Amino acid sequence: MAKKIRVGIIGGGGIARMAHIPGYQAAPDCEVVAVCDVKKQVAVETAQKFNIPRVYTRYQDMLRKEQLDAVSVCTPNFMHCKPTVDALKAGLHVLCEKPLAMNATEAKLMVDTAKKHKRQIQVGHHMRFDGANVALKRFFLDGAMGKIYYARVQALRRAGIPSWGVFGQKKLQGGGPLIDIGVHILDLTMHLLGFPRPIAVSGMTYQMFGRDPSRFNQWGPWDTKTFTVEDFAAAFVRFQGGLTMTIESSFMANIEQDVFNTTFVGDKGGCQISPPKIFRQESGTLVDVTPTRLPQTKPYIEEVVSFVHSIRNNKPVAIPGWQGLMVMQILDAIYKSAQAGHEVRIA
């Protein structure tokens, strides 16, 4: 019988309960043996809900006392880096919820630490495991779109400022919609493109409505007094080889409806993510191709099961830290460009 992979959870809130813990409990020969949260009641409630035997309020104690193989870091963004680095130094693999860090400097430290200690980081970008996105990746690998030269990335909400957590506080979150929801679609886009190397970014951020309590919000009132992030961002990214990309992301904007999509333009065809559709010409006619009967997956579960499979079999994780670092480099450059008022190069 295979030795069980022993896992600890750092941060026992919503994402741990919704995604990480159910994923581990669905993985063969894996057990969550401890959960840690700075709020003891949260840790206790999570442990009771999922029958986890031990509870901690300091992750350092959990790392020292438990014989773990891996941890999930499910904390707010400002607490992604240190627990990840400490766990890697303790000889553990890490599944870190997205975004990888507050900025590229932290992300690089995490990636360098993993390399030094010969351990792996997987970044929690569950959208890659969606059945439609898995199918689209095959089209890209088969060259169905030819040479992609432009991508339009959009993560837009009309009135969707989170009214919980620390999503509006820059010092704890790192940014607004760009780092919260934009990071998801940007990672998926980069994955489909094969992670081309970004070289320069020109960006702009706006705070138009985040401090206005009179605005309608689909999740009700939010803390306007502590709102210090952007509520809209736009950017233009240049890549090595000539590819260009535009990025738009909002918590609140005067648009018709929410949009979560990327449109790709290539010399043989183009496509979009949501809903998945391919556009090209055949026999002198414009043709739209809609993939059908796509597998119904549970992306959050499969993300975690994939992580467990990788560490058990000593194989590279599906979403390695260096890819999370590259995404953070783009986001960093957007924020820096917005502040500086000019294009920013990425080294």
In this prediction, residue 307 carries a pLDDT of: 98
At 163-195, the pLDDT tens digits run 998 999 999 999 999 999 999 999 999 999 999
**Confidence label for 347 from pLDDT (cuts 50, 70 and 90):** confident
Question: Using omega within 30 degrees of 0 as the cis cutoff, is the peptide bond preceding 99 cis?
Answer: yes
For domain 5-126+299-319, is the CATH number 3.40.50.150? no
Query: Helix 131-141 vs helix 183-193: angle between axes, to the nearest 10 degrees?
Result: 30
Cβ contacts of residue 70 below 8 Å, gap of 6+?
5, 6, 7, 8, 92, 93, 94, 95, 307, 308, 311
At 214-224, the pLDDT tens digits run 999 999 999 99
Whether 1 has a pLDDT exceeding 80, the answer reads no
Rg (C-alpha) for the chain, rounded Å, is 21
What is the pLDDT averaged over residues 39-47? 97
- Confirm if 82 and 58 have CB atoms less than 8 A apart: no
Write down the architecture of domain 128-295+329-345 according to CATH.
Answer: 2-Layer Sandwich (3.30)
Half-sphere exposure of 20 (CA within 13 A, CB side): 30
Whether 33 has a pLDDT exceeding 80, the answer reads yes
Cβ contacts of residue 168 below 8 Å, gap of 6+?
161, 162, 176, 210, 222, 223, 226, 227, 228, 229
- Confirm if 6 and 67 have CB atoms less than 8 A apart: yes
- Confirm if 19 and 303 have CB atoms less than 8 A apart: yes
> Three-class SS of residue 192?
helix
What is the average pLDDT value for the chain, to the nearest integer? 97
Q: Quote the CA–CA distance of 302 and 297 in Å, as a whole number.
A: 8
Say if 5-126+299-319 and 128-295+329-345 have the same CATH topology.
no
Whether 4 has a pLDDT exceeding 70, the answer reads yes
Place of tokens 């904007």: 253
Q: Which of 9, 17, 169, 15 is nearest to 97 (CA)?
A: 15
Place of tokens 């766990």: 87
**Confidence label for 295 from pLDDT (cuts 50, 70 and 90):** confident
Q: Quote the CA–CA distance of 193 and 195 in Å, as a whole number.
A: 6
Distances (CA, A) of 345 to 66, 213, 337: 44, 37, 9
Q: Where are the chain's structural domains?
A: 5-126+299-319, 128-295+329-345
Please count the residues of the chain: 347
